[in-house]
Structure formats: structure tokens, C-alpha cells
Amino acid sequence: MVTGYCVVCGRPDKENGKNIEMMDSPKPKINQTARGGYMAKGICSKCKKTKMCAMMSKDNAEKAIESGEAEKDF
Ligand SMILES: [Zn+2]
């Protein structure tokens, strides 16, 4: 699962916004950053409206794309 931080769900308690799964549909998209890192962008599955992004390791990014959890966008 691709998870990230939601600023809306994390308000006022930041802990609540951590490690929230991104929605399956639309699927999270994984981009490669200029520095060669991987960044997943998706929508919070908890409040279903907030855009969220998360840095991912190469391994996790490739795994998520391979398993169909996220779309390759680079
Ligand atoms: Zn949220």
C-alpha cells in the first residue's frame, strides 16, 4: 500500500495524519524527482479529498508499480 501524510486528517493532531493509505481509484501516481528519488502522489483514503504525496525508496516505488498499487508516471 502506498501511504502518505494528510494535512487535513493530521489537523489538529499530527499523528493522525501519518501513514494514511492513498485511494485505489484513482490510483496513486509515482514520479521520479530531479534528484532521482521517487514521489507518490495520490488522494487521502480517509477524507477522500486531500491530495497527498510521499517520498518512496526505489524498491518500494518499483514494488508498488509492479503490484499495480500505483501507476508509473515518469
Ligand atoms: Zn485526509
What is the residue extent of each domain of the chain? 3-59
In this structure, are residues 24 and 3 in contact, taking their beta carbons and an 8 Å threshold?
Answer: no
Q: Using one digit for the tens of pLDDT, what is the confidence trace for 17-52?
A: 999 999 999 999 999 999 999 999 999 999 999 999
Neighbours of ion ligand 1 (CB under 5 A): 6, 8-9, 44, 46-47, 50
The pLDDT score that the predictor gives to residue 1 is 85
In this structure, are residues 4 and 54 in contact, taking their beta carbons and an 8 Å threshold?
Answer: yes
Centre of ligand 1 to C-alpha 26, Å, is 15
In this structure, are residues 25 and 10 in contact, taking their beta carbons and an 8 Å threshold?
Answer: no
Centre of ligand 1 to C-alpha 5, Å, is 8
Q: What is the pTM of this model?
A: 0.89
The pLDDT score that the predictor gives to residue 19 is 96
